[in-house]
Amino acid sequence: MPKIESVGTAVPSYRVTQEEARTLTRQLFDGAIENLDTLLTVFDHAQVNTRYSSAPPEWFTQHHTFPERNTLYIKSALGLSADAILDCLTPVDLSPSDIDHLIFVSTTGIATPSLDALLIDRLTMQPSIVRTPLWGLGCAGGIGGVSRAAEFARARPDSRIMVVAVELCTLTFQLSDHSRANLIATSLFGDGAAAVLVTGDEVEGEGPTIQGHTSTTWPNSLDVMGWDLVEQGLRVVLSKKIPVIVRRHIREMVEDFLISQNLSLADVGHYITHPGGPKVIEGYLGALALEESQVAHTRSVLSDYGNMSSPTVLFILKRFLHQLRDVQNQYGVASAMGPGFSAELLLLKW
């Protein structure tokens, strides 16, 4: 079975507290939005204490075109991705030249050549490395990327595959967007990158094995989550339906997935769940009858970093790898949802 050997993470240098984000939002929208004080209560309920941004606070007080945002995206995403890869490789005593395949996941900016090509030059990776850029999976991209890596590892069991997920969600903030969705996103979003080393059967190493994975895309749900492209860049689309979808569908989806792996909910002790926001976490708790301790890492990552989209669940996975490094014969399910509206599930065994 393919295995996860290591996870590395990186965040930009600008640290923003929730109170600072709330104060700045009040300054920017005062007089432009009715009932602003009522709407700003989303900052109180987001359960985010800090997050990290690729731009200083004053950057958000000005209008920016999409090219301006994307230029900053490329520069910052490249640096964060490189740092996350090195953070992933250092504990296992490997270098970037040891990687056979690079999967690059992102949704908050564009580049051609895609950033995986830029990373190959920056980190002096081998010229024969295989490139697989994935765009548009949103929050589900981290699990989706690891799932694709597992497929490649089964096809080439002697390979080392690096999955990099990087998102600069804060750069999508729209000064002219007075919608509730923009305020909710501002209360939740942060920037970050994560890298996961997946290896095949023939590569020596330790870590949980990837037992299986699955994807689900619900019909008639294209309006639930995503971006609208406007002159100033990417404008967030967030529906109130998301927690409802979690509550109504996640249990059946997880049960069906586990049945396909000859398991049941009783066999799973650990849940590596993308937080989305507090209501999504509550949806997981209720639908899967989880204990609060089973979402402790999910809550703590949301509190420390906010919702970084695709890397977030991989930050949580890193904490699970540390917690479970000495256990055996325990199962975990990693899950995340994204535009489509879609869900990705991954079954791990320690």
Closest CA to 215 of 85, 343, 79, 339: 343
C-alpha–C-alpha distance, residues 332 and 248, integer Å: 21
Closest CA to 133 of 146, 150, 114: 114
C-alpha–C-alpha distance, residues 293 and 299, integer Å: 10
C-alpha–C-alpha distance, residues 328 and 326, integer Å: 7
C-alpha–C-alpha distance, residues 164 and 85, integer Å: 7
C-alpha count within 13 angstroms, C-beta hemisphere, residue 236:
28
C-alpha–C-alpha distance, residues 148 and 43, integer Å: 35
Across the chain, where does the E strand assignment appear?
Answer: 3-10, 14-17, 50-53, 101-106, 130-135, 160-168, 191-199, 209-217, 225-230, 233-238, 268-273, 331-338, 342-349
* Residue 134 neighbours by CB distance under 10 Å: 19
C-alpha–C-alpha distance, residues 29 and 322, integer Å: 42
Q: How far apart are the first and last CA of the chain?
A: 12
C-alpha–C-alpha distance, residues 210 and 152, integer Å: 12
Catalytic residue among 77, 105, 120, 139: 139
Closest CA to 144 of 68, 76, 213, 242: 213
> Is 88 a residue of the active site?
no
* CA distances for 243 relative to 65, 99, 122, 278, angstroms: 32, 38, 40, 9
Active site residues: 139
